Amino acid sequence: MANDVENRIEELRGEIRVHDRLYYVLNKPEISDQQYDRLFSELKKLEDKNKELITPDSPTQRVSEKPVAGFDNVAHAVPMLSIDNTYNADELKAFDERVSKGLGDAEYEYAVELKIDGLAISLRYEHGALVRAATRGDGTTGDDVTANVRTIKAIPLRLLAKDVPDVLEVRGEVYMPKKAFAELNAQREENGEDFFANPRNAAAGSLKLLDPGMTAARKLSFFAYSTGEVSTPLAGGHYETLQKLKKLGLPVNAEIKKAKDIGEAVKICLGWDKKKTRLDYQIDGMVVKVNRFDSQDILGATGRAPRWCISYKFPAEQAETVVESIDVQVGKTGVLTPVANLKAVKLAGTVVKRASLHNFDELQRLGLKINDKVIIEKAGEIIPQVVRVIEHGEADMFAEEFKIPTKCPECDSEVIVSERKRAGKKEDIENKSEYTHTHKCVNPECTAIIRERIIYFAGKGQMDIENVGPALIDQLIKAGMVKNIADLYSLEYARVSQLERMGEKSAANVLDSIEKSKTSPLWRLVVGLGISNVGGQLAETLANEFGTIDKLRNASEERLVEVDGIAETIAKNVCEFFNDETNKILVDELLKHVTPIAPKEKASSVLEGKTIVVTGTLESFTRQSIERAIKDNGGKTSSSVSKKTSFVVAGANAGSKLEKANKLGVQVISEEEFEKMIKGS
Ligand code: IVH
């Protein structure tokens, strides 16, 4: 019996590691998030009952329970060097001339890769297990950030292959994807916390948190781009080493290319400046490396940077404009945020008219006045922000001092200012003051707060209620028809159709959309409630785990932290939200109208282990929907027929794939037969 449990635990760990690799390294997930969660929670339950079987490299052990007191120093076995920068093709060619001279007559080729905007990290694996993770620091000594790095799911706690070197230091970049960066900054602004100017700062700030549970919530990821100390070299060149690292289970960026000469390398570099917006993470340039290690050794390094490697930095995408006025917005938590109205200007493909100034500390740090000429750029390629003032308004009469409001611009109640000491070391705080200030309206009746909450609830990333946008919400509030999100569900056609500029048809559309939202997926309702720090992804995690609002609202803090991905602070926020008397009434009221759909249990078993090819024209499925149905039922799709194909679903006018299936003796079924199969009849 004990052995059975032990075997099952090992089997589950193995499966989870395989799926982590498929997801993070190969970018080809084979199971749904829910199926993954199921494996994970089975393992967690078995380990909870058999604590003596828990090992540090188990996928359940990524988040250590205790916050760390600080970070120890780590001396790097091999120094972590920096890279020299170039800014144009001529400088890249000059680099190539130095390389050519240094290598004499020898032939050489380059590896060209993306320069990820994140933070350099060194991962030390001993006998295949991750034993330490350190930041670059000054290149010789860094901070031990092992507890935090272990929470990054893209980083394997154990390498996959058996024949790994005894010691393998993997170096690479920890980064925050653009979407996570934008979501984090929106939350921070709302909480009156500091804004991260770029993904690099966000990654660094997240790795310096003292609570690994909070780092886990930051959605960091990782790409390996070189090695440090290695007991047995993996290959003779850089490109080949990275491919080996990939085989060991480490994520390596897929865009790496070999270039036979600098002309080819330059072309690749310049090409990415135009394509970079397609990526879901930010890059700030390219890195060109002489590929072979023996050539690298001949070239050596200056004190700071290797002579075999160079970066090509993209020109910063900035624009010059004028701040015409400054508005103060009240967010859904009551935090006041200054927003600059700009003279419209084109920046990185869009016309920008407004830029958030984040908070009043930032406004003071910039020394910004109305009518100032400023430089703007997009943080994380998405959020327009003022970087610096280049010139105050022409004459004193134009340069207007902006006064921080002491009254809420919406309801005129007293603004409450709270002061917090900034966390982190002095050097991390850069040129910011030691304290941060949050300016807040705390009037629960403030119409701005009510408005923002309802707008958020109805918004695309939440309940996604079509036709219910800011303009209508303003009208409804003004007419006294809604005071909170639940009131949306008591709206009557007769009154809605009486609103200004609202025809009968529009009123019907509005009510129709609201009606439809009553059966939204549960996660949408959870995120729409606006619980502090609970964004879309955490809401999905909570919905998958608890299945109903009632189960979620009754969950204790202890129960919530048991859920993978839910940090203590988040668990606290959730409990506080549902224990608040006003919220209790609000949720009760909502549940009188809304019956959110529980996460669908997927019929995982029917097609488990089957590889299916779909061909021809189908009647009741689109290509996408049949592929989803196959996946939802545990199967895999493939685009070509082989002996390994389990069966082919053939619609009308099927051609060569059907022929091949017949030739290989692969089973062919019709669309109806497939439907019966997944319906289990
Ligand atoms: S190689 C000795 N490759 O850029 C060379 N660095 O500005 C070691 N970076 O500290 C670094 N992407 O944090 C290398 N593909 C890449 C990179 C990369 C991002 C970062 C890294 C380094 C910094 C230098």
> Residue 258 is part of a domain; what is its CATH number?
3.30.470.30
Query: Which ligand 1 atom lies nearest to the CA of residue 85?
Result: 7
Please state, rounded to an integer, the average pLDDT across all residues of the chain: 90
Ligand 1 centroid, distance to 252 Cα (angstroms): 13
pLDDT digits (tens, 9 = 90+) for 448-498: 999 999 999 999 889 999 999 999 999 999 999 999 999 999 999 999 999
* Structural contact between residues 202 and 196, judged by C-beta atoms closer than 8 angstroms: yes
How many folded domains does the chain comprise? 6
Residues 622 and 581 in one domain: no
- Helix H or strand E encompassing 457: helix 447-458
Within 338-398, where are the H helices? 360-366
Looking at the CA of residue 120, tell me the nearest atom of ligand 1: 13
CB 568 within 8 A of CB 558: no
More confident residue, 239 or 607: 239
Q: Are residues 396 and 528 in the same domain?
A: no
Question: What is the CA(284)–ligand 1 centre distance, in A?
Answer: 11
CA–CA distance, 124 with 296 (Å, rounded to integer): 22
Among protein residues, the one with the nearest Cα to ligand 1's atom 3 is: 225
Q: Which domain holds residue 500?
A: 447-517
What is the SS3 assignment for 477?
A: helix
Q: At 50, which CATH number?
A: 1.10.287.610
Residue 433 has pLDDT above 80, yes or no: no
What would the mean pLDDT of 405-419 be, rounded to a whole number? 95
pLDDT at 160: 85
Quick one: tokens of 332? 């859904």
What CATH number corresponds to the domain at position 566? 1.10.150.20
> Looking at the domain assignment, is residue 659 inside a domain?
yes
* End position of a domain, from candidates 18, 45, 61: 61
Which atom in ligand 1 lies closest to the alpha carbon of residue 306? 2
Structure tokens at 153: 């799911």
Q: How far is the CA of 276 from the centre of ligand 1 (A)?
A: 17
* Residues 642 and 627 placed together within one structural domain of the fold: yes
Measured by CA distance, the residue closest to atom 14 of ligand 1 is 225
Q: Report the separation in Å between the CA atom of 668 and the middle of ligand 1, taken as the mean of its atom positions.
A: 51
The atom of ligand 1 lying closest to the CA of 119 is 13
- The answer to whether 110 and 288 are in contact (CB under 8 A) is yes
Average pLDDT for residues 19-28, to the nearest whole number? 88
Please give the helix or strand (H or E) that residue 170 lies within, else none.
strand 167-175
Structure tokens at 660: 């091949």
173 alpha carbon – ligand 1 mean position (Å) = 7
pLDDT value for 568 = 86
Instruction: Please check whether residues 245 and 146 belong to one and the same domain.
Output: yes
CA of 377 to the centre of ligand 1 (A): 23
Return the residue whose CA atom lies nearest to atom 16 of ligand 1: 115
Q: Do the domain assignments include residue 437?
A: no
* CA 285 / ligand 1 centre spacing (Å): 10
- Residue at 77 is within a domain: no
**Residues 13 and 127 reside in one and the same domain:** no
Q: Exposed e or buried b for every residue in 644-653, given b needs 16+ CB within 10 A?
A: ebebbbbbee
The residue from 390, 405, 420 where one domain ends is 405
pTM equals: 0.80
Taking residues 372-392, what's their average pLDDT? 92
Q: Fill in the DSSP letter of residue 163.
A: S
Two tokens at 669?
């079924």
Res 680 pLDDT > 70:
no
Residue-wise pLDDT tens digits, 500-553: 888 888 999 999 999 999 999 999 999 999 998 898 888 988 998 899 999 999
How many angstroms separate the most distant Cα atoms in the chain? 86
Ligand 1 atom nearest the C-alpha of 83 is 24
| Residue 192 shares a structural domain with residue 252 | yes
- What is the residue with the minimal CA distance to atom 13 of ligand 1? 120
User: How far is C-alpha 614 from the chain's CA centre?
Assistant: 33
In tens, the pLDDT along 617-631 reads 888 887 777 887 887
Task: Please report which helix (H) or strand (E) contains residue 354, including its range.
Answer: strand 350-356
Tell me the per-residue pLDDT of 283-304, one tens digit each, with 9 for 90 and over: 999 999 999 999 999 999 987 8
Q: 539, 562, 591: which is the final residue of a domain?
A: 591
CA pair distance 434, 421, nearest whole angstrom = 6
Looking at the domain assignment, is residue 417 inside a domain? no
Q: How far is the CA of 222 from the centre of ligand 1 (A)?
A: 13
Tokens for 614, please give them: 């779909």
CATH number at residue 335: 2.40.50.140
Q: Whose CA is nearest to atom 6 of ligand 1?
A: 115
In a domain, residue 572? The reply is yes
> What is the C-alpha separation between 156 and 608, in angstroms, rounded?
26
Q: 304 CA distance to ligand 1 centroid (A)?
A: 13
Counting from 1 in the atom list of ligand 1, the atom nearest the Cα of 81 is 2
Two tokens, residue 239: 């490109």
The values of phi and psi at residue 355, to 5°, are -140, 130
- The band of 432, judged by pLDDT with boundaries at 50, 70 and 90, is low
**Same domain for 138 and 199?**
yes
Nearest alpha carbon, ligand 1 atom 18: 115
| Residue type at 332 in one-letter notation | K
Q: What is the mean pLDDT of residues 151-165?
A: 91
Measured N-to-C along each axis, helices 536-546 and 33-49 cross at an angle, to the nearest 10 degrees, of 60
Mean pLDDT to the nearest integer, 164-189: 94
Whether residue 166 lies inside any domain: the answer is yes
Protein residue with its CA nearest to atom 15 in ligand 1: 115
| Contact (CB, 8 A) for 631 and 637 | yes
What SS3 class is residue 205? helix
Q: To test the ligand 1 pocket, which listed residue (81, 113, 116) has its Cβ within 8 A of the most ligand atoms?
A: 116
Using one digit for the tens of pLDDT, what is the confidence trace for 188-247? Answer: 888 888 889 899 999 999 999 888 888 888 889 999 999 999 999 999 999 999 999 999
Please report which confidence band the pLDDT of residue 324 belongs to, taking 50, 70 and 90 as the band edges: very high
Distance of CA 428 from the midpoint of ligand 1 (Å): 20
Answer yes or no: do 375 and 322 share one domain. Answer: yes
How much distance in Å is there from the Cα of 115 to the middle of ligand 1? 6
Q: In angstroms, rounded to a whole number, what is the distance separating the alpha carbons of residues 577 and 565?
A: 19
The predicted-structure confidence for 62-98, as pLDDT tens digits, reads as follows 887 676 778 999 999 999 999 999 999 999 999 999 9
- Cβ contact 455:470 at 8 Å: yes
Instruction: Catalytic residue, from 115, 276, 289, 378: name it.
Output: 115
At 676, list the tokens: 């019966």
So what's the pLDDT on residue 427?
Answer: 53
Place of tokens 């036979």: 260
Residue among 84, 269, 311, 314 to mutate when testing ligand 1 (max atoms within 8 A of CB) = 311
CATH number, domain of 669, equals 3.40.50.10190
Which residue CA neighbors atom 12 of ligand 1 most closely? 115
User: Ligand 1 pocket: which of 87, 121, 225 to mutate (most atoms <8 Å of CB)?
Assistant: 225
**Which two tokens mark 268?**
């690749």
Question: Which residue's CA is the closest to the ligand 1 atom numbered 7?
Answer: 83
CA distance 493 to 513: 13
Residue 428 pLDDT exceeds 60? no
Mutate to test the pocket of ligand 1, among 115, 223, 245 (most ligand atoms within 8 A of CB): 115
Closest listed residue to residue 224, CA positions, set 244, 251, 249: 251
The answer on pLDDT for 14 being more than 80 is: yes
In a domain, 26, yes or no: yes
Mutate to test the pocket of ligand 1, among 287, 293, 308, 310 (most ligand atoms within 8 A of CB): 287
Q: Do 133 and 97 belong together in one domain?
A: yes
225: DSSP letter: E
Q: Among residues 423, 343, 418, 356, which one has the least CA distance to residue 192?
A: 418
Tokens 């602070």 locate to 569
Q: How confident is the model at residue 601 (pLDDT cuts 50, 70, 90)?
A: low
Mean pLDDT over residues 597-625, rounded? 78
Task: Point out which residues pair with 222 in neighbouring strands.
Answer: 174
Let me know: does 539 contact 570? Beta carbons within 8 Å: no
Task: Clarify whether residues 119 and 200 are in a common domain.
Answer: yes
Residues 557 and 526 in one domain: yes
Nearest CA to ligand 1 atom 9: 115
Distance from the first to the final alpha carbon of the chain: 36
Q: Cα of 26 to ligand 1 centre, how many Å?
A: 22
Residue 435 lies in a domain: no
In whole angstroms, what is the distance from residue 455 CA to residue 191 CA? 18
Residue 177 tokens read as 């994807």
Mutating to test ligand 1, I would choose from 173, 238, 241, 284 the residue with most ligand atoms within 8 A of its C-beta, which is 173
115 in active site: yes
Pocket of ligand 1 (CB under 6 A): 81-83, 113, 115-116, 120, 136, 173, 225-226, 287, 306, 309, 311
Query: In terms of domains, do 129 and 270 share one?
Result: yes
* pLDDT value at residue 374: 95
Nearest CA to ligand 1 atom 2: 81
For residue 343, what is the DSSP state? Answer: E
Nearest to 62 by CA among 13, 110, 115, 1: 13
Cα gap 67→211, rounded to integer Å: 4
Res. 110: pLDDT tops 80: yes
